[in-house]
Structure 1
Amino acid sequence: MVAELLSVGTELLLGNIVNTNANYLAKECASLGLSCYHQVVVGDNPERLKETLITALERSDVVIMTGGLGPTDDDLSKETAAGVCGLPLILDEHSKEMIADYFERVHAGSITNNNWKQAMIPEGAIVLDNHNGTAPGVIIETDNKAIILLPGPPGELKPMFAEHVAPYLAAKQPEQFYSKMVKLCGIGESSAETKVKDLIDEQTNPTLAPYAKIGEVHFRVTAKAKDAAQADALMEPLIKELYHRFGKLIFTTDPDETLEEVVVKLLKAKGYTLATAESCTGGLLSGRLINVAGISEVFKEGFVTYANEAKMRSLGVKEETLAQYGAVSKETAREMSEGVCQVTGADVGISVTGIAGPDGGTKEKPVGLVYIGCTVKGKTRVEEFFFTGNRKKNRDYAVVRALTLLREEIL
């Protein structure tokens, strides 16, 4: 079954609002086994909206329209859909009661006449109750196809989709798609893809798809099955094969778990404490770590030592080291990671020093050169990296490589 997403709103076209609804709905439709070939955004113009909806119905089985269900004159989604299907709008008493109850519940003030516009429903349509706003959703079934109208606010759309639309669509699908994510760090996308090219070439069900992230590679394993148990049975051999080929490069199979969460989990399991010493990343590394809930159990202190004087004063980096090798060097990175352990008493220290750009590079030390040091219980490892992005990307890559090195050394 083919689904099409039709987002309504001039504010989307102008970029005033980011279309997060389309992102959410695309993922949900894929998980339900629907094929989605088109996503369209159209402004609050009745003629263009009508043309777009007619085109969508010609090429898709289900059209999911979002937005345009409000009480004002420019909210035209229901009116347009009803007109395309040749249906009159009639007052739905149940929806009218729901709107009145919502106003009373949230103390939204007096109900104006235009609010009752939202209770006007295409004749014969399925009404989807909205427990989080005033605009009910609607499903119009016509010529073996369906138009699903959902309110634009994500806080209303998402619960309505989960409660009403997902079961409706699932009942029309004999099979659904189930996915698991295998996340790797410490390997590039091209190298990772080369190692699984034979699996990709031979795939049927389940399928394997690589996705590149900054400093990470994710493999999405997807199976088409009648239920989750059957999907797990189909995916298990492929996931085992990925572990066989990549081993410890895989840091999680939880789609929602981040690299920094895995690092913090490892620190807790080992009973280790951590301190950071940053130069070119300017606190980005400690910020990523502090985003993790429960970090206070393991994180002692973080230093941003941008100037040489700060490296000497706060971390004990030797003046002669800076004079002989420079701030961006293996030697300085080593003394930074060892120094932060000494001054904080942490079991683990991580340091980053480099040239993020766009200026400051030389032939010997170009922009993108970064040294990362990691000390665990007195043992230190320093790695050299050459990144080729802009200033922001170089700093972001440095953070991910630092987290990767932390994980490797803790393991």
Structure 2
Amino acid sequence: MNRQWKTELIGIGTELLLGQIANTNAQWLSEQLARYGISVYYHIAAGDNRKRLTDIFTTAQSRSNLVIVTGGLGPTEDDLTKEAANELFGQSYRMDETAKEKIEAYYKKNNLSMTSNNYKQAQVFDQAYILENEEGMAPGQIVEYDGVIWVFLPGVPIEMKHLMTDGFFPYLKERYDLPTEIKSEMLRFIGIGESALEDCLSDRIRSQDNPTIAPLASIGEVGVRLTASADTIEEAKEIISEEKEIILSRLGSHYYGSDDSTIEEKVRDLLESKGYTIAAAESLTGGAFINELIHLPGASDVCDGGLVSYTKKAKEKSLGVSPYVTNRYGTISKECAEAMAERVQHIFSSDIGISFTGVGPSSSEGQEPGSLYIGLKIGDQRAYHHFYHMQGAREQVRKRAVKKAYELLFQLLRN
């Protein structure tokens, strides 16, 4: 049976509303459902209140055809998911014997006294399809009521994921036309913003069907996730390959890799392929640039070292930047950035010297917050600089600065 999916995810627990924990279940569920072409329309977080839960469930019944509820299946009085749902279903309960025996065995094995309310976890709807929980106590349940599929799962992430992967998706594939094979690939781009990328691909995004196309932005870069469905994994790969070729024909100059690739790894590989080494002089970034590089395998082949010269004194004494430069132009200037890059290249005898100097969240030396100078010295060429204005709080500025430097090196080394 084929179906147009309209899915609602409901996370139960007052701790979600108080911000004590993040609803990572909803994130994971949305990602997995998308792989099967199942659209999620609503994310809801609800507290442990029976009346409000009943109202939320009634609304979900009226507007969705797949409702996945996580949490509220435990043994305590504030675990109210089943009670609130049964205001809608009006079903009797039965005891799931497998879950009951597991609960009893757990308490016996650990020599603990079991109270009667623990049996509540084994209580299921009379007409439910049971998903056995091999990771915990409470089983999952599927109830099809008045055209809507309801799925009740524990809120513990490892239990929820197990029940979805080994229980719910096989259940759904038996009854509905879901693709046999799903394949996804994340294409990674740098040096282009999310809005510009979406504009370039607007016609492909508007007409998307199979594969689906999902732009995803992060600090300093953008990803495009392609997800294809087919009868075989080979066919799904071919569908993705054809769409990828179209996308790269438009955005290839910004593309650096797929899936788990990182821009830092790409720059390391480019340095290694050309036999270059690099050294960094960092002020604003406080060593973050070199740290991203040296944690990678093989970094010692391309990274000579780095210096954090945060103050004017450090720039003069440790790096050897001329006091004439710092006094006349300031430490946050193109002249200082170029001198820092030149000095660190000389100190480490590197092929490339790179430097960072700038302003965090408050102005300094007459420079606006977010001002950033990146200096570069390559071989025997004259040192030069790039200027940027970074948005965000202090840590955001630092992260964006590091990412921008890797973008510069990627374009420089590739070309």
TM bin, normalised by shorter chain, reads 0.7 to 0.9
- Structure 1 partner of 2:163: 160
Determine the C-alpha separation between the residues in 1 that align with 2:39 and 2:326: 59
- Structure 1 partner of 2:222: 217
Which stretch of structure 1 is more off in the superposition, 209-218 or 85-94?
209-218
Structure 1 unmatched ranges of 5 or more: none
2:326 maps to amino acid: L
Which stretch of structure 1 is more off in the superposition, 316-325 or 306-315?
316-325
1:313 aligns with 2:317: yes
Structure 2 unmatched ranges of 5 or more: none
Cα offset, 1:15, TM superposition: 1.4
Determine the C-alpha separation between the residues in 2 that align with 1:361 and 1:302: 25
Change in Cα spacing, 1:297 to 1:4, as seen in structure 2 (3 Å) is farther
Determine the C-alpha separation between the residues in 2 that align with 1:115 and 1:265: 56
- SS of 2:373's partner is strand
CA contact (8 A) 1:361 1:367 kept: no
1:181 aligns with 2:186: yes
- Structure 2 partner of 1:91: 95
1:233 aligns with 2:238: yes
1:195 maps to amino acid: C
Determine the C-alpha separation between the residues in 2 that align with 1:321 and 1:104: 76
Query: Which TM-score applies when normalising by structure 2?
Result: 0.87
- Cα offsets for 1:345-376 (capped at 9, x unmatched): 555443211122322263xx433321112445
2:187 maps to amino acid: V
Determine the C-alpha separation between the residues in 1 that align with 2:106 and 2:355: 54
Determine the C-alpha separation between the residues in 1 that align with 2:160 and 2:111: 20
2:63 maps to amino acid: R
2:267 maps to amino acid: V
1:24 aligns with 2:35: no
2:28 maps to amino acid: Y
Change in Cα spacing, 1:297 to 1:16, as seen in structure 2 (3 Å) is farther
- Cα offsets for 1:186-240 (capped at 9, x unmatched): 2233443343344445545434443333221222334454454333322322211
1:115 maps to amino acid: N
1:384 aligns with 2:387: yes
Change in Cα spacing, 1:237 to 1:324, as seen in structure 2 (3 Å) is same
- SS of 1:71's partner is coil
CA contact (8 A) 2:36 2:229 kept: no
Determine the C-alpha separation between the residues in 2 that align with 1:296 and 1:309: 29
Change in Cα spacing, 1:201 to 1:166, as seen in structure 2 (3 Å) is closer
Determine the C-alpha separation between the residues in 1 that align with 2:170 and 2:299: 39
Cα offset, 1:102, TM superposition: 4.5
CA contact (8 A) 2:332 2:365 kept: no
1:371 aligns with 2:373: yes
1:149 maps to amino acid: F
Residues 11-410 of structure 1: matches in 2 within 5 Å? 11-102=15-106, 107=110, 109-176=112-179, 178-254=183-259, 256-270=260-274, 272-289=276-293, 292=296, 295=299, 298-360=302-364, 362=366, 365-376=367-378, 382-410=385-413
- Cα offsets for 1:282-305 (capped at 9, x unmatched): 233334445656656655534321
- SS of 1:41's partner is strand
Determine the C-alpha separation between the residues in 1 that align with 2:294 and 2:136: 35
Which stretch of structure 1 is more off in the superposition, 260-269 or 301-310?
260-269
- Structure 2 partner of 1:10: 14
Change in Cα spacing, 1:73 to 1:110, as seen in structure 2 (3 Å) is same
- SS of 1:395's partner is helix
CA contact (8 A) 1:185 1:216 kept: yes
Q: Number of matched residues?
A: 407
Determine the C-alpha separation between the residues in 2 that align with 1:222 and 1:310: 51
**Identical aligned pairs, as a percentage?**
40
CA contact (8 A) 2:280 2:354 kept: yes
1:67 maps to amino acid: G
Change in Cα spacing, 1:78 to 1:333, as seen in structure 2 (3 Å) is same
RMSD: 2.8
Cα offset, 1:67, TM superposition: 0.5
Which stretch of structure 1 is more off in the superposition, 122-131 or 175-184?
175-184
- SS of 2:332's partner is coil
CA contact (8 A) 1:6 1:65 kept: yes
